[in-house]
Amino acid sequence: MKAITSLLAVSLTAGVIATPTNNNCCTRSAKEIQWNPCGDELGINATTPLFCGSLTVPLDYTEPESEETLDLQVMKIPASREPSKGSVFFNFGGPGGSGIVEMAVLGEVLRALVGGSYDIINIVPRGTGNTLPFSCYETNEERSASAARAPFATNASNTALGSVWAESQNRADACLHSQNTTGSLIGTAFTARDIMCAVDVLEDDGMLRFWGMSYGSLLGSTLVSMFPDRVDRVLLDAVMNGHQYYRDDLDQATDADSAFSGFCAQCVDNKDSCLIAGDRTAAELEEDIYTALETLKYNPIPLSAGGIGILLDYATLKGQIYNSLYNPITWPKLAQTLDILFSGNATSIIADFFQPAPPPAPDAEAILGIKCSDKLLRASTLEEVLPSVEARWELSRIGGDIVDVSVLQCARWRMPAKEQYAGDFQVKTAHPVLLVSTQNDPNTPLVSARNMSAGFEGSVVLEQAGYGHTILSQASLCTVKITSAYFENGTLPEPGTVCEVDAVPFSGDPGWVSVLTQLSSVDVEA
């Protein structure tokens, strides 16, 4: 892999660098949260009681004399056991995810993960939901026009990379035009301080208990690095490499190819549920799919319905493959989609490509607004980023040119966060951190968990066998027993522990019903 030590010029002049601190975040504004039932109001069939409230925090933590405030949306699932031991704050990732749907539909699973003795809290992050929602376009037509000018993969053709780079400038300009007032106020360091404000209000002991998934693990790493003395229980799930997140995300897709190989292997092992296997070996199936993708670069497949036509091209299909690797329950559907490459029959999938576009969400570009404002690196020419692009292509055949797109977008961003974490993630926390990652995650490789653990003194990495992004993707009774013991009494697993999963391959079932049933049986016996 090529060295990229001179990738981009560091630009730190616009932001304040976050440093470890125990300062009370909320001396200016926070008040007690008033909780009200809200499951019905959200229009989501919640699986557990759900309560909502608001928390007032400083709008800009870098302006200590300012009286401007921000009301954050806050959600709570009460503990299943009384009395509650306190709160565990969850962040479900993104960046750009509000966590609202996850809180509504995953309540029983979340309770089980932490042992049932804690309230589950979601602070809707800045830039998402109704909290400074970040959107760069007024209509879906404007958004679609921007997407049409550049593919979703930088290696989709011999002109794709240049198109992605050029359109990144247009998108950055559009976002600056529409979000120039608050676009610098939604970065991760401010969100970390928001969470500590909530800790100040809700927790009698002033200590942080937190579970961060994917980007949430990056938020968690930032939290423990800024507030190491206030860590009680922090679990990082699907661990991002924090050093790279704030810079170039080079290793993001390291395990994507192994995840894709796993899809092909499980397809061949379950031929009755995966007809594209045919008489192929797993290696043959994998190579045939790669060959077909290359053909799509210059020979896309026309699809039409009701007089409306689209092209199934390299970027579209490769993006579907990469996204499906996040969640193995989608693999039977992915196999059905890929059948068009071999049979030419689009009947079973054509409806999927002609779904009406949903109305634009008020936070549609939150992932860019948050991630790009966090970045410490910028570039003015394509030549500056080429070493990074080529390194990602070399690192991952299935995902390298997909993850490139957001990296190039952020290189041209013009709204750095008012506060940016630029530390080294080397801290001794008040209590040790637990890190959990799956062995074949397309977006947060296992090596990232090990890299981050090296900086958190006393921390332990738990490996979950199997596939998918975050431990939610495939249930594991072993993993749940370990995570619940960690939150209940601080117990850490032995280093090198590996948990098997309870999900059945190519069944469309992640295994959570079975695991929750087994846990209920244990509780009854106890």
pLDDT tens digit string along 27-66? 555 678 999 999 887 778 888 999 999 999 999 999 999 9
Give residue 470's pLDDT: 98
Higher pLDDT, residue 150 or 419: 419
Residue 482 lies in a domain: yes
Please list the residues that pair with 128 across neighbouring strands.
131
Domain span at residue 477? 16-28+74-125+189-250+420-525
Mean pLDDT of 224-239: 99
Give residue 526's pLDDT: 43
Contact between 80 and 98 under an 8 Å Cβ cutoff? The reply is no
Alpha carbons within 13 A on the beta-carbon side of 172: 24
Asked whether the predicted pLDDT for residue 272 surpasses 90, the reply is yes
Give residue 356's pLDDT: 74
Give residue 385's pLDDT: 95
Contact between 498 and 471 under an 8 Å Cβ cutoff? The reply is no
Contact between 455 and 427 under an 8 Å Cβ cutoff? The reply is yes
| Beta pairing class for 69-77 and 119-123 | antiparallel
Residue 42 lies in a domain: no
pLDDT digit string (tens) for 475-521? Answer: 999 999 999 999 999 999 999 999 999 999 899 999 999 999 999 87
Asked whether the predicted pLDDT for residue 108 surpasses 90, the reply is yes
Contact between 252 and 215 under an 8 Å Cβ cutoff? The reply is no
Mean pLDDT of 196-202: 96
Going by pLDDT thresholds of 50, 70 and 90, the confidence category of residue 147 is confident
- For position 475, which CATH number holds? 3.40.50.1820
pLDDT digit string (tens) for 332-362? Answer: 999 999 999 999 888 878 777 777 767 778 8
Going by pLDDT thresholds of 50, 70 and 90, the confidence category of residue 138 is confident
Residue 485 lies in a domain: yes
**Of 300, 57, 308, which is closest to residue 198 (Cα–Cα)?**
57
Give residue 257's pLDDT: 99
Total count of domains within the chain: 1
Residue 6 lies in a domain: no
Residue 411 lies in a domain: no
To the nearest whole percent, how much of the chain has pLDDT over 90? 81
The amino acid present at 391, given as its one-letter code, is A
Contact between 60 and 15 under an 8 Å Cβ cutoff? The reply is no
Asked whether the predicted pLDDT for residue 524 surpasses 60, the reply is no
Residue 103 lies in a domain: yes
Give residue 346's pLDDT: 82
Going by pLDDT thresholds of 50, 70 and 90, the confidence category of residue 522 is low
Give residue 29's pLDDT: 54
Contact between 519 and 513 under an 8 Å Cβ cutoff? The reply is no
Residue 211 lies in a domain: yes
Alpha carbons within 13 A on the beta-carbon side of 425: 24
Tell me, rounded to whole angstroms, the distance of Cα 339 from its chain centroid: 29
Residue 84 lies in a domain: yes
pLDDT digit string (tens) for 284-333? Answer: 999 999 999 999 999 999 998 878 888 899 999 999 999 999 999 999 99
Mean pLDDT of 61-82: 95
